[in-house]
Amino acid sequence: MKKQNSRLQYLVRTVAFVVAWNVIVSLVAVAQADETKPAAAKKLTGAELYAINCNRCHQERYPTEFTSAQWQTLMTHMRVRANLPAKQAKEILKYMKEEAGN
């Protein structure tokens, strides 16, 4: 009985966590509904994808901090680490190389 209660509590906690996040997602989606439509309509540039992805886990690293060759290596590293889609990674790399330091 005790074991069943423990499992039940675990299940309830897990479900509550998932539901809570879904509520947050829904609220945010509704609040931003007007902004979402135009954003989804156009294809994002490398600079925009860089701004979206490259400060999720750390402060933005400026393109001029590394050379073009170094960005090639760093983007491979970050593509694997952050699990970025290939096309997005390529667009970001193109932007970083264009703006890279010497």
Residue numbers 32-71 binding other proteins by CB under 8 A: 32, 35-36, 39-40, 42-44, 48-49, 51-53, 55-62, 66, 69-70
Q: DSSP per residue over 16-85, as a string?
A: HHHHHHHHHHHHHHHHTHHHHHHHHHSPPPHHHHHHHHTTSSSPPPPGGGSBHHHHHHHHHHHHHHTT--
Q: Specify whether the CB–CB gap between 99 and 63 falls below 8 A.
A: yes
Does 25 bind other proteins (CB under 8 A)? Our answer is yes
Does 81 bind other proteins (CB under 8 A)? Our answer is yes
* Residues binding other proteins (CB under 8 A): 6, 10, 13-14, 17-18, 21, 24-25, 28-29, 32, 35-36, 39-40, 42-44, 48-49, 51-53, 55-62, 66, 69-70, 72-74, 76-77, 79-81, 83-88
